[in-house]
Amino acid sequence: QVQLVESGGGFVQPGGSLNLSCVASRTGDIFLIYTINWYRQAPGKERELVASITTDGNTNYADSVKGRFSISRDSAERTGTLQMNSLKSEDTAVYYCNMLARTSISTPASNYWGQGTQVTVSS
């Protein structure tokens, strides 16, 4: 079983920065992590994709965060990070880490989710 543990959320004033981390815990072997994604869900809104990064390091961002957020990964450490700069009140949401991963060469890839971490941007 793969578990994703997120950290780094919190309260910050507009214009501030936060760095979110997501670590795939070793409750079982992880053969390969494919895409790492960060989603967010604000109250009363649907969950939306914020940023993604492939095994090759190709990144993709929602228009609302381009130029302010940066996604990265360390495959050896089974970690994904989301650096968030110039935060705005509309960035307030619960942020979720998502990994498409395979636990062995003989098993298909599955989606795994973190528990979510709250980010609040307010003055």
pLDDT, tens digit, for every residue of 67-122?
A: 999 999 997 888 999 999 999 999 999 999 999 998 888 889 999 999 999 999 99
- pLDDT (0 to 100) of residue 16: 98
Contacts for 57 with CB less than 8 Å, ≥ 6 apart: 73
Q: What percent of the chain has pLDDT over 90?
A: 78
- pLDDT (0 to 100) of residue 17: 98
- pLDDT (0 to 100) of residue 1: 72
CA 19 to chain centre: 10
Comparing CA positions, the residue from 64, 59, 56 lying closest to residue 40 is 64
Using the predicted structure, report yes or no on whether residue 57 has a pLDDT greater than 70.
yes
Comparing CA positions, the residue from 49, 19, 35, 30 lying closest to residue 102 is 30
What integer is the mean pLDDT of 44-68? Answer: 97
Q: pLDDT grade, residue 48 (50/70/90)?
A: very high
End-to-end, the C-alpha distance of the chain in Å comes to 40
Using the predicted structure, report yes or no on whether residue 26 has a pLDDT greater than 70.
no
- pLDDT (0 to 100) of residue 28: 62
